[in-house]
Structure formats: C-alpha cells, structure tokens
Amino acid sequence: MFKGKNFAFKRVFVENNISIGGIDFLSYVDKMYSYYQKLSGYLPQNSKSAEVSIGDAATLPNSDDSVSAIVVDPPYYSSIMYSELSDVFYVWMRECLQDVFPDIFQPELTDKDNEAVANPDRFDSVAGDNSSKRELANRSYEQKMSDIFSELYRVLEPGGVMTVMFTHKETDAWDTLTMSLINSGFVITSTHPITSEMPQRAGMRSSASADSTLLLTGRKPHEERDPENATPSLWSDVKADTRAAATEAARDLLDSGISLTKTDVIISAFGPTLRVFADAYPVVDDEDEEVAPRKALEEAREAVTQVLVEEFLDGEGIDDLDDITKWYVLCWLVHESQTFSYDEGNQLGHGIGVDIDAIKRETKVWRKNRGDIKLRSHDGRVQNVNEKPEDRSSRIPVNPDDLSFGRALDGVHAAMHVYDVKGESACCDWLRERNFDTDSDFKATLKALLQVLPHDHDDWELARDLAVGRTRDVLDLDFSPNVFAEDSEGPTQQGLDDY
C-alpha cells in the first residue's frame, strides 16, 4: 500500500514474498510472540504486570522524580507524518476495537495537534513574508521536542537514565537535539551505535541514510543544574578537551575489537564529546559569542578521522597530499561507500579546508545523487586517451596527455585509465615519461586507494594491476597489493544481541 513513508500510491513489489513459506502472517505472529517472551524474560520474577498507556509525551500522568529509566524513539522533523499515515489503519481499528478501548478510539481520527512532527501543511494559513511554513513547522517541532524532554526530566528520578534513539547523522540534527537535552538539564553520557534497520528492506536499499541507530544516553543529575546561569567556559579550552575525549573514545572502541563501521566510530565519539561540552556549557568564543554544540561535534569528527587515518592508512604520506586527493581518500576511508550523505562529506571537507561545492564542477571528483554525494571513479574523470584531443569532451577534467598533474588523484586516475585501455606495456612507458617512480605523492595515493577502495570496485582492481608486474617495477614500489588483499567481508555491525 505504501511505497515510501507517504501517500504516493504506486504499484511496487511487496517487501515479503509470502509465497515462499515461512514468512506468512502466522509466522510473523509467532515471531512477535517469541520476542515478547524474550523481553519479559528480562524482568524479575515477581514484577507487576506492565501498564500500557497512550498519549502526548509532553504531558505525562507520572509524578515528579518517579521513573528510573526512560527509553524514547522520537520522530524526526518532517521525515514521517505518523498520524496522517496512521489514519489509514486507525479508522479500521476503531471499527473493531472501539468497544474494547473506548478512550483510545474515541476521536474520529488520530491526534494531529499534539504530534511532534514538522508538518508544513499545518502552517499554510499563518506563513508570511517573514517565515515560511517550513520554518514555522520546524520551529514548532523543536519547541515540542524541547517540551517533551523537559517533561521527561520532570518525571525521571535523580540519577535516572534516559536513552534516546536517534537515526540521524547530520550535525544539524545533533545540534538541535543536544541543545534541547542540555537546556532540559540532562547530562549526556554516551552514544552507542546499533543496527536496527534491515539493509535488505525496500526502503533502505541504495539509500545513503543512516545505517545504524544511535542510542544517546543522558542522566538526570543528583544535583540540579542551572545551565542558563552557569559561568561560561572559553571555547579555546573546551576545544582541546573535546578533541581528547573524542580521540580516547575512538581509540577505546578500535582497541575493543568490536566490529563497527568507521562512521559509527565517529558517532560513538559524539557522546563523550558532548559530555565535555555539556559540562562546560555555556561555551563562548573570544568575542563572547555563544558556541553551539556543532562546533564540538565538528572537532570530534576531525579528531576521530585522524585516529582512523593512523589506524587504517599507516598514518604515512596522506598528510602531505593535496587537499582534494586527501578528501577523496578520507571519504572512502570513513564511509566505505561511493555514496554518503552530503552533510558528512561537507564536514570532512571543512576539516581539511576543502569547499566541496567549489571543487565539484572543476574537478568532477564527486556528483550529486539524490541529494547525497557520489564519488566519481577514474572512469568519468579522465579523457579518452585513444581519442584525438579535439574529439574529447572538454568537460572531463583530467587529460592523460599531460606530463604532470596538479592533484595526485588525477595522476593515479589517469594511470588507471591508460592501463585499462592501452595495457601494461604502454602504461609502463606512460609512467616513465612522467617520472612517477620518484613521485612520492603518486605512490602514497595509489597505496591509500588500495587500502580504502572496496575490493570489488573497478578502480581497486586497476590500482592492484598498477602495483604488480612491470608497472610495479617501473614505479619502484615498496609495497605490494597482497598486503591489502585479504578481502575483508566488510564490517559486521553490532546487533541488539551484543548488548
């Protein structure tokens, strides 16, 4: 019925093929039942039966300081209009269940007024020149989430723990969430990534959205904090502590041997980083301007990227490369994928001084793919060496006839192309003419690409071909692709069972 999380009715294949058996309706019921059994097994023997209630999280019936643990999985801005979608089912459930749950099914449709979503359509009539309906919707969502966190703080007992599920990796999203938590009085303690979405789900395939859910843990301190009246800390002091906390968290995670994606390592460092930031809050810069949590997260991202470089790229050579080559290598290293969110690529660019929008057209190292970044491979960046120069597209930036290249990546991509279309022997001559045997940047880039590209990628195979046989001799390489050849099966992520 729904292809996406909206009413764009379209004919699509169903997510589950019920004809193959084993995944029919009853087996789903059995599965649900066994999960409930497993969950209830965690409860102490003599625990009271659970009470389930439904309502607005901003007005809870519980008294102050009465709850020891809170787990929330909040909506995120306009990503899903829960109540609108729910109405489709609600009207039928109401028909069947109104007698059983008269209070819950009293309204004709679901509650839209108290919903914590950013729904621009609800602001159609009030939007004006000063604020668009989207801005108004976003503001109302942020206010609602802030009201909810304050309410959760009220009911939580001192020392109690709150876990927030969070699937978004954009710094903006973290900025708002963190400010909301800090202002409510919570102390942020940690972030844990876990796998919760099935990668084979129709909605998740080929999407670069978050591949894991993050659990952010906060506590209600025993002593009330008053962040608004606290003495401000200086960003220059907090910055160093932020970096140190992020570096330590990343090192601990890598040393623990737990298999995580590199992005998850970065995100896991956000918790300890935010803890430092929240402890120091409010933070101001040299001009006495308040510094937002995003600054701390940017710092953390950079610090952890440095740890990842040291861990996975031997730390050598990459620092001396030109910025664009470095950005390209780091993107592959961190995301382990050709496509990833624009925000993350942009952040990586900031860290090393690359304005990714400014370089897009001229270098063609990346292109937009449904709002995400898609890194380009050598194919598409290098002019066809077999075509006459006048027949080549001038929009393709790398000319393989050049005798030197401004960016190390261009040289390596051109070498891949020449090897691919002209073969080993011609490539040896090509490399010799350009003195690549004495070009440390060329070699460092080739080595880095061998380490970061997935082994089934065409460019990895070409990089490997360049690093063996006669081209290897011409280049006078001191490394062999065999070192990187044990094709890892890709990082296995933690699942709920690991906790």
Ligand X SMILES: C[S@@+](CC[C@H](N)C(=O)[O-])C[C@H]1O[C@@H](n2cnc3c(N)ncnc32)[C@H](O)[C@@H]1O
Kindly state the helix (H) or strand (E) to which residue 120 belongs, with its residue range. none
Question: Which residue number, 56 or 65, has a Cβ lying nearer to ligand X?
Answer: 56
Q: Parallel, antiparallel, or unpaired: how do β-strands 213-219 and 187-194 relate?
A: antiparallel
Helix axis angle, 356-363 to 323-335, nearest 10°: 100
CB of 91 to ligand X, least distance (A): 16
- Residue 82 or 479: the one with the smaller Cβ distance to ligand X is 82
CA distance 113 to 96: 25
Minimum CB–partner distance for residue 120 and ligand X (Å): 16
Q: Which is nearer to ligand X, 105 or 312 (CB)?
A: 105
* Closest residue by Cα to residue 311 from 366, 250, 356, 263: 250
State whether the Cα torsion 96-102-106-112 is positive or negative. negative
Pick the closest to residue 323 from 409, 405, 399 (CA basis). Answer: 409
Nearer to ligand X (CB atom), residue 114 or residue 425: 114
Q: Which is nearer to ligand X, 195 or 377 (CB)?
A: 195
Between the alpha carbon of residue 402 and those of residues 71, 258, 399, 408, 474, the distances in Å are 60, 46, 6, 13, 19
Sheet strands (E) in 167-262: 187-194, 213-219, 233-234
- Minimum Å gap between C-beta 209 and ligand X is 13
Task: By CB under 6 A, name the binding residues for ligand X.
Answer: 56-58, 73-75, 82, 114-116
Q: First vs last Cα of the chain: how many Å apart?
A: 35
CB 215 → ligand X: shortest distance, Å? 12
Provide, rounded to whole angstroms, the least separation between the CB of residue 141 and ligand X: 10
CB of 74 to ligand X, least distance (A): 6
312: Cα separation from own chain's centroid: 20
Q: Please say which residue, 186 or 327, places its beta carbon nearer to ligand X.
A: 186
Between 119 and 305, name the residue whose CB sits nearer to ligand X. Answer: 119
What's the rounded Cα separation, in Å, for the pair 245 and 279? 13
Nearest distance in Å: CB 71, ligand X? 9
